[in-house]
Structure 1
Amino acid sequence: MPHIVVEYTDNLSSHINIKGLLEQINDAVMAEKDVFPIGGIRSRAYELMDYHVADGKENDAFVHLNLKIGKGRSDEEKKRVCERLFQVLQEYFSEYASEHYLALSLELNEFQHQTYKANNIHKRFS
């Protein structure tokens, strides 16, 4: 953990470098060294082909980031990470948003129950 899932509308595809955005997202999470182990960070993106935004009369776009984490972080840590990630989104899309309609959102999901996982990537960072 954490897992970061980015959903974005397909009308953004020609305006963004999604792999570059995911790299910036991972860098932002890694900057919180004491909150998440580097080996557990996983980000991915889904381009949405089927969606309807507002009244559907404009070429509106949206980006939604879902941050999924396990239990154990303080409210301050969660707030700091969410604010850092939302800042990445706002900065990344600032130029686009200055000329187009765009909605950005971020959601934090903290698992309340046991998760099942195996990950030997942590060995590289220990």
Structure 2
Amino acid sequence: MAHAVVEWTDNLAAEGFAVKPLLSLIAAAMRDADGVFPPGGIRARGIRLEDYVIADDSGQDAFVNITIRMGAGRSAEFKAAFFGGLFAEVKAHLEPVFERRYLALSMYVDEADEAGSFKHNNIHTRFRKAG
């Protein structure tokens, strides 16, 4: 399980921001992590925010926030290397936006509590059949 939720402010549309390439970048990084994230459990989705206040509410500012939730069990070393590298890729992807406007980028990584996690997923079956 690895789910990424990208929230972004709607004022980024004027900058030509498209969330789909960013979602694809995140999902590809997870798929390419040497099997650490089962492909059938990868999700990346975006939420365009229309109601928000940033800083002094002047309208000059925008933000992109990425929250990643995954199952427990990855080492601290893996998390630091993988998510540090992913954050660097996301920053590079958004560099053109940073050059044109004020932007806050954040990424948070959480581990799901398995006792409070309920899932039913037959997508994994497709990958087992293909392998």
The residue that corresponds to 1:33 in the other structure is 34
The residue that corresponds to 1:42 in the other structure is 43
The residue that corresponds to 1:24 in the other structure is 25
CA contact (8 A) 1:28 1:84 kept: no
Cα offset, 1:80, TM superposition:
2.3
**TM-score between both structures, scaled by the size of structure 2:** 0.89
Which is worse superposed, 69-78 or 111-120?
Answer: 111-120
The letter for the 1-side match of 2:100 is: E
Cα offset, 1:58, TM superposition:
4.3
**TM-score between both structures, scaled by the size of structure 1:** 0.92
Structure-2 separation of matches of 1:16 and 1:99: 11
The residue that corresponds to 1:94 in the other structure is 95
Cα offset, 1:88, TM superposition:
2.5
Aligned length: 126
Q: Percent identity?
A: 41
Q: Secondary structure at the match of 1:19?
A: helix
Give the CA RMSD over aligned residues: 1.3
Alignment map for 1:36-75 (pairs within 5 Å) = 36-75=37-76
Which is worse superposed, 13-22 or 36-45?
Answer: 13-22
5+ long unaligned stretches in structure 2: none
Q: Which runs of 4+ in 1 moved over 2 A?
A: none
Cα offset, 1:62, TM superposition:
0.4
Q: 1:121 aligns with which of 95, 120, 123?
A: 123
Structure-1 separation of matches of 2:122 and 2:85: 27
